[in-house]
Amino acid sequence: MSKVKYQLNDGLAVLTIVHEGAPVIGDDLMAGLLDNVRRARAERCRGLLLRAEGHVFLAGAEAGDLQGVRESEARATHTDYLAVVHEIEDLDVPTLAAVQGMCLGGGLELALACDLIVAQKGTKLGQVEARLGGTTFVGGAQRLVERCGTSRALEITYSGRLYSADTFAAWGIVSRVVVADNFEDESAAYARELAQGPTAAHRVTKSIVRMARAEGVRAADELMLQTAPSLVETTDMQTAVEAILAMGPRDFMASPSPVDFVGN
């Protein structure tokens, strides 16, 4: 059984999966994730980090849980699990999954719900359901299409193979691969950087990208014209403009954090 710990620090909601036994997905874990993602939204987080303690992120479902299951039971379970994926995807702030060791099956589907995936070097990832005569029951195949295209998505799901983090990075599924010694610190620092950024701007950007994905570039252009101009009046943008005028473009761009964004 696995459970979820929740922390909110400086706008970053950290959801940590704690494995008490095998690192597999189950009803308790998914219910805990759903509750805590909703809590992060209610507490107006500016970013979310999904991570796991130990050497493994998530290794999919327990095989024994699939034995003798009826179609109606499977549909109910998958509906509940997909609600967790949707809850993560529907957050309007940056979301990051930090994965290590093994990230398989439903574990990969949870990671794919996040905007970005950072993987520890040496991590093995895959949609292994075909090895058990199944498919990606919580939306992995269709989300892989968005990241790496139809051909790669089919290869990954048909084969049930394990792939290296480096391969998934080359295919555009994983955003960064980090060596083990730096993994925890670097993934947390990246998540904090996103959470402490211009949150209002990130919300607009995320909505535009979603629109482009759903309805195409022209629809995204229309949404951009409706939403992006309001950013010029935000505290964050005006503070940044004042900073670049005071520092000069070269020093402004060379500074790792020239502005303390407040998120509005």
Percent of the chain with pLDDT over 90: 90
Residues 132 and 188 reside in one and the same domain: yes
Residue 84 has pLDDT above 80, yes or no: yes
Residue 189 sits in the same domain as residue 108: yes
Q: What is the CATH number of the domain that holds 176?
A: 3.90.226.10
| 231 shares a domain with 139 | no
- Residue 119's domain spans which residues? 2-195
For 180-215, how does the pLDDT look when each residue is reduced to its tens digit (9 = 90+)? 999 999 999 999 999 999 999 999 999 999 999 999
Tally the domains of the chain.
2
Pair (149, 38) in one structural domain = yes
By the 8 A CB rule, do 49 and 12 touch?
Answer: yes
Q: Cα–Cα distances in Å, from 112 out to 34, 65, 142, 256? A: 16, 23, 10, 28
* The pLDDT of residue 1: 62
Cβ(110)–Cβ(85) under 8 Å? yes
User: What does the alpha-carbon distance between residue 51 and residue 14 come to, in Å, rounded to a whole number?
Assistant: 8
Cα atoms found within 13 Å of the Cα of residue 250, Cβ hemisphere only: 0
Domain check: are 123 and 236 in the same one? no
Q: Of 195, 213, 241, which marks where a domain is finished?
A: 195
Average pLDDT, the chain: 95
pTM: predicted TM-score of the whole model, two decimal places: 0.95
Contact between residue 218 and residue 188 where contact means Cβ atoms under 8 Å apart = no
Contacts 24+ apart (CB under 8 A), 241-247: none
Query: Can you say how many angstroms the Cα of residue 105 is from the centroid of all Cα atoms in its chain?
Result: 15
**Do 137 and 76 have their domain in common?**
yes
